[in-house]
Amino acid sequence: MAKKQETALQHYPSNRRFIPKGKLLAIGGKESKDNEGQPEGKDQNINFISEQILKRFVEELKGDNPMVAVIPTASQVPEELAQDYVTVFKNLGITNVQVMDIRNRKDVQDPAHIETVNKAAGIMFTGGDQLRLTAIFGGTPLLLAMKERYAFTDIIIAGTSAGAAAMSTPMIYEGESQGGYIKGDVRVTTGLEFLKDVAIDTHFLTRGRIVRITQAIATNPECIGIGLEEDTAILVTEGGKVEVVGSGLITVIDGMDMTETNIFDIQNGEPFTAKGLRVHMLGDKDEYFIPTYARVQLK
């Protein structure tokens, strides 16, 4: 099955826009889990709905008695975090929950994990450190199996915090200076590439990350930056149609019409500038179409 689908991906005509059949749910972190992990300010926010995002994840699952695979690899406390999701999903009526206990490159090679991915109606990447996800899953048959499921089936793949940041390419994994305004202090690498030419950042407004994602976009204005606030998510369908879900806001940074930047002239350690950026602030049920997914992809 894997070889056949890999061939289909490799030989899909380059002059046609490929539309994945699966869905992505990228969550900004601290999504409501009933009485646990509630976002700050929920009592003042009349838009807050308990467990709204995870309920939407469950609603999107297909099939009778759907299986959800939980991947806590990004976390330093994977057992504890995985159990949190097992409990919350069971409370939401999903009893078929499988934990994929993957902690290193050796674990990821277990063929049983590919079988789990091929049976799952949904996959959930927990929070933690997104660099653990890319370093452990990158280039493996298991990641290919996930991409094939996303491309050819109606699976939903979700990630929260680090799990959301890792979905995109480029992937921001570190920012040293306060706010990220110093050139060279924002670290970027290749993510898991479910969304290409999109950079996702999380805990966005709470941690003041608008400048650091802007630096990432200034270095490559063809990419779109999407900042996800806590208890706020984007549901991506058809490879680029975005619906906002949750109690907060998402921020979109579009640099395609950027008029000026000094990012290529200054030295590391100097503040960068960028002019002419477009910024969108979107809330629950708002829609946005990522302008990158319809581009011609050269092989």
For the annotated catalytic residues, the residue numbers are 161, 203, 230
Biggest CA pair distance of the chain: 57
Is the distance from CB of 284 to CB of 247 less than 8 angstroms? yes
d(CA 146, CA 148): 5
Q: How far apart are CA 131 and CA 239, in angstroms?
A: 24
Among candidate residues 153, 122, 154, 145, the one with its CA nearest the CA of residue 55: 122
Helices (H), the chain: 2-10, 52-59, 78-91, 111-119, 130-137, 141-152, 162-165, 210-219
92 burial class (0-12, 13-18, 19+ CB within 10 angstroms)? middle
Region of residue 57 (left: phi > 0; alpha: psi -120 to 50; beta: else):
alpha
